[in-house]
Amino acid sequence: HGDFKWSNVLVVQDAAGAPARVCLLDWELAQFGDPAWDVGAALHAIIAEAVLGHAFPDGITPAEASASLGAIIPTLHATHRDVWHQYLAAAQLDGAEASALLDRLPDHVAVRLIKSAYEWSQAEVQIPRRAAAILQLGINMLRQPDQARQLVLGLEGSASAPP
């Protein structure tokens, strides 16, 4: 729907002991579009929240910031896979259609990361460390989407739902 963010998420518990349902609500910008944009938004939000919650100490070099971010990313893989597999199940996608969507996903996540880096920097005199880190991550993902799918998103070989 073009506007995925945590404030548009509703968790519904129908009955005690029943599994909760997660719903996206916000029809303000409802439109037809590439589902990779919305799935990418969900994965981007997971990365952005982790980066915002991570401490980048004063005086850290760009290389140290990159290494620090590199330590965060693998901890997000299980959550990325869960979002991906839940989407596949809900959309009833598999095979070639799921693979094609998975192929587009790194680019959509990367563009959203670059957009966030810009937004986080707008009112700043100098680019914040967090913004620089996700900007570089987004650029790297655009340059090497196959590696990004595996190393950043943890989705290599995940075009079908888990057994």
Helix, strand, or coil here: 11?
A: strand
d(CA 138, CA 108): 9
pLDDT of 29 reads 61
Run of H or E residues at 89:
helix 77-91
* Mean local confidence (pLDDT), 112-133: 90
pLDDT of 87 reads 92
Q: Report CA torsion sign: 37, 39, 45, 50.
A: negative
Q: Which residues pair with 152 in a beta bridge?
A: none
Please name which of 94, 47, 98 lies closest in space to residue 69, comparing C-alpha atoms. 47
Q: How confident is the model at residue 162 (pLDDT cuts 50, 70, 90)?
A: low
Q: Which residues of 99-126 are buried (b: 16+ CB within 10 A; e: fewer)?
A: eebbebbbbbbbbbbbebbeebbeeeee
Q: Answer yes or no: is pLDDT of 157 > 90.
A: no
Place of tokens 């199940």: 89
pLDDT of 139 reads 94
pLDDT of 163 reads 47
Reported as a single tens digit per residue, the pLDDT across 19-76 is 888 877 765 666 677 889 889 999 999 999 999 888 878 787 777 877 888 889 999 9
> For residue 78, which phi and psi values (nearest 5 degrees)?
-65, -40
Residues 109 and 139 sit within 8 Å (Cβ to Cβ): no
| pTM (predicted TM-score) | 0.78
Q: Answer yes or no: is pLDDT of 4 > 80.
A: no
Q: Report CA torsion sign: 59, 62, 64, 69.
A: positive
CA atoms within 13 Å, Cβ hemisphere of 109: 32
